[in-house]
Amino acid sequence: MSLRERFKEGDLDAFEVLFRQFQGRIYGWIVRIIRDPGMAEDLTLETFWRIYRARGRFDPSADFGGWAYRIATNLALSHLRRRREQELPPDVPEKATRALDPALEGEKRDEIRRAFSRLPVKLQLAATLALIEERPYEEIADALGIPLGTVKSRVSRAVRVLRKQLHWMRVQT
């Protein structure tokens, strides 16, 4: 019996192997979207909790990673929606791995963040992954479970809306 078949049957050892194999990748994916390391850990656990609960519906011949990415993406999207309802600005982690451009003043960055947070959540998600994280469109389409063309059109709409908003706010990019 294969690992995925054992997982489907509820074998906890098989689940642990899959968990350890994918926890880092799922965490990395979620943290790219929501940009909050603590919450990303919680959502990673929630993703695997849902995976374990839904194991009976899992097709062992299917791609486990693709399934996990889709569940994680949906959870991250719900989190972005909740965060928007609570009107919290996107978190900017203290420990950045890339230095900020010193030429870009704090005020301008705030304007850009505000414009970005006003985008519809689906456009925000596509723009985060494509423009900020520079993930391939194919990977984004797989994780969102949408056609490649839809990803492209969401990114291009996000660019158009941001361009218009920033122009209106007189922010020079």
Partner 1 sequence: MRPKNQDYEEIQRALKDAFPSVDTELHRDLWPPMLRRLEEQPVREVPWYDWALAAALAGIAILFPKIALLFAYHL
List the one residue from 6, 11, 35, 39 that touches partner 1 (CB under 8 A). Answer: 35
- 8 A C-beta contact, residue 116 and residue 84: no
Contact yes or no for 72/129 (Cβ under 8 A):
no
Using rule CB under 8 A, residue 28 touches partner 1: yes
Per-residue binding string, partner 1, 59-78, x by CB under 8 A, is --------------------
Report yes or no: 77 and 29 within 8 Å, Cβ to Cβ. Answer: no
Which helix (DSSP H) or strand (DSSP E) does residue 7 occupy?
helix 3-8
The whole-angstrom separation of Cα 131 and Cα 115 is 15
Give the residues lining the site for partner 1 (CB under 8 A): 12, 16, 19-20, 23-24, 27-28, 31-32, 35, 37, 41, 44-45, 48-49, 52-53, 56, 90, 92-93, 95-101, 104, 109, 112-113, 116, 127-128, 130-132, 137, 152, 156, 158-160, 162-163, 166, 171, 173
